[in-house]
Amino acid sequence: MKNTVYINTDIRKGKINKNIYGHFSEHLGRCIYEGIWVGEDSPIPNENGIRTDVLNALKQIQVPVLRWPGGCFADEYHWKDGVGPREDRKRMVNTHWGGVVENNHFGTHEFMMLCEMLGCEPYICGNVGSGTVQEMSEWVEYMTFDGESPMAGWRQENGRKDPWNLTYFGVGNENWGCGGNMRPEYYADLYRRYQTYVRNYGDNKIYKIAGGPNVDNYHWTEVLMKEAARYMDGLSLHYYTIPGDFWEEKGSATDFSEDEWFTTMKKSLHMDTLITKHSTIMDKYDPEQRVGLIIDEWGTWFDVEEGTNPGFLYQQNTIRDALVAGLHFNIFHNHCNRVQMANIAQTVNVLQSMILTEGEKMLLTPTYHVFDMYKVHQDADLLSVETNTDTFANDGEKIPQVSISASRDSDNNIHISLCNVDNKREAEIEMELRGWSKEIAEIAGKILYADEMSAHNTFEQPNAVQPTMFENLTVQGNKVKAELPPMSVAVLKIENRGESQ
C-alpha cells in the first residue's frame, strides 16, 4: 500500500520550541569527565578544559539547552563543593553512579562556561532530596545576583564578575524515586516551599520546573497540578524506551532480534500516549497551557556494553536509535503547544548518546545525525499534516509504518521529516502540498539508513552510518513522491520561491 500524505502549508498548529532539541549531561560514568571535561592540562585538545572535538560537534547540532548536573546525581550534589580553586575542591564518592571518586573539577563555573561556548541555555537541577532550602536559594543567588551579597561576592572572588543568565531551574529530580522516594502530596508541599526561595534577581526571570511523573504515574501529575500548578512554569516527565520486559533484561544495544526491533519502535510510540494523557490532566488545571510539559529525560536504555562498569550506563547506538530519535521528535512536534522542552539522556558516553569517546578518539552516533538533520525544525511553525499510512506488523501487532512531521521556517521554507520504521519493507510516500500556490521548484533532502538493524559507528569505522543525499524523489506540480528504504530517517526541504504566508 502507498502512504499518502497531505501537508496543509497554510494551517499552522503551533510553534516547535527549539528546546525540544535539548540535551542532558549528568555526572555519570564518562559523560562529564572524559566525554566533555578533560581539564586544561590534558593531552586531548581542549578549550579551557572542554574537549575541542566534542565542543565542535555539539555546536554543529545547535544545542539549545543543556540540563545538568543530574539526574539522580542532582539530589546528592552540593554545589558549594564545586566552586573555588580546583585543587581545593572536595573529593567525594559518586554513590549513585559506580561508586567512583568525584573530584568536583567540573562545577558551576565550568558548566556555565560550557553553555556560553555552545551558545545554549543552561538548565540547572537543584537538590531537594538531600539539600536544604538555603543551599538551593544561595545557588541561585550565587549565579544570578548582580549586586552586593555574600554569594555574589563569593562568585566574584572565584573569578566571575558578572552574574550569568539562568532561565531554567528544576526543583529536584525524580522525587518519587532517587530524589527522595516521596509521595506526590509530600513533594508538592516541598516543591511549594523550595521554589519560594528560588528568587528572580534583577532582570533574571527563572522558569521553575517541578519534578514530574515517572512514565504513566498519572496520580503524580494530578496531585502536582492540583496543589502546585500556580507555583510552577513547567512539569517534568521521564520515559525511557526499554525493549525488554524487566529492568534486568533490557536487551543489547547492538545484538537484538527483529522482535526487539519492533518492540523498540512500539515502545517509542508510547511516548505519544503518555504525553496525551498527562496533557489531559494538565489541561484540567491549566486550560491556557501556561505550564510546559518538560520531557527532561528520554531515549533508549539498553544493557551496558560488555566489560564496562554497570554503573556507567555506556551503550552503543545503532540505526535503531536513530529511528527512536526521529519518532520522538515527530511526536514532540505534534504536542508542541504543551511540550516546551525535551532533553535526551545523555549527551556523551551514557545511554542514547550523540557522541562516544575512547581516550582521544571520538565518534558521532546515528542519533547525532538525526539531531543534525532535524535541527531545521527548531522554532519553526508546525504544519497540519493528514496521513494515511501502511502498517508495520509483527507477531499479530501493528504500528504505522511511517511517521511524518512538517514545519515552516521563518523564510517560509517547508521541512518534512519522515521515518520508515519497518526493518524489511520500503515505504512509497505520496505527498501533496495544499495551500502552496506555486509549483515545487526546489526540493532537496538527506537520508540516514542502513542495511543491517545493528548498523553502528565504531572507532575503527566512524562513518559506517551517516547521512547521504536523498535522491529517490520525484516532483510533479504540488506533489512529491518519495521512496524510503527500510529503517530510514529523512528530512526534505522545499524551498520557498515567492510563497508569502
Residues identified as active-site: 174, 297
> Which one of the spans 69-77, 129-137, 438-446, 466-474 is the region binding ligand AHR (CB under 6 A)?
69-77
Write the Ramachandran bin of 62: left for phi over 0, alpha for psi from -120 to 50, otherwise beta. left
Question: Rule CB under 6 A: is residue 173 a binding residue for ligand AHR?
Answer: yes
Most distant CA pair in the chain: distance in Å?
A: 69
Question: Rule CB under 6 A: is residue 75 a binding residue for ligand AHR?
Answer: no
Q: Which helix (H) or strand (E) holds 332?
A: helix 319-334
Cα angle 217, 220, 224; round to 5: 150
Number of residues that bind ligand AHR (CB under 6 A): 10
Tell me the closest approach of the beta carbon of residue 487 to ligand AHR, in angstroms.
Answer: 26
Question: Rule CB under 6 A: is residue 71 a binding residue for ligand AHR?
Answer: yes
Residue 459 φ then ψ, to 5°: -65, -25
Residue 8 φ then ψ, to 5°: -85, 95
Write the Ramachandran bin of 491: left for phi over 0, alpha for psi from -120 to 50, otherwise beta. beta
The candidate with the shortest Cα–Cα distance to 453, out of 248, 249, 262, is: 262
Choose, by CB under 6 A, the member of 7, 23, 26, 27 that binds ligand AHR: 26
Tell me the closest approach of the beta carbon of residue 406 to ligand AHR, in angstroms.
Answer: 31
Tell me the closest approach of the beta carbon of residue 297 to ligand AHR, in angstroms.
Answer: 5
Question: Rule CB under 6 A: is residue 321 a binding residue for ligand AHR?
Answer: no
Question: Rule CB under 6 A: is residue 69 a binding residue for ligand AHR?
Answer: no
> Which one of the spans 67-75, 150-158, 362-370, 468-476 is the region binding ligand AHR (CB under 6 A)?
67-75
* Alpha carbons 270 and 415: distance in angstroms, whole number: 25
Residue with the three cell numbers 514530574 = 212
Residue 403 φ then ψ, to 5°: -120, 135
Residue with the three cell numbers 519522515 = 418
Choose, by CB under 6 A, the member of 121, 174, 321, 390 that binds ligand AHR: 174
Choose, by CB under 6 A, the member of 63, 342, 345, 440 that binds ligand AHR: 345
Tell me the closest approach of the beta carbon of residue 119 to ligand AHR, in angstroms.
Answer: 24
Q: Which amino acid, 343? A: N
Residue (104 or 346) nearer to ligand AHR, CB: 346
What residues line the site for ligand AHR (CB under 6 A)?
26, 70-72, 173-174, 297, 345-346, 351
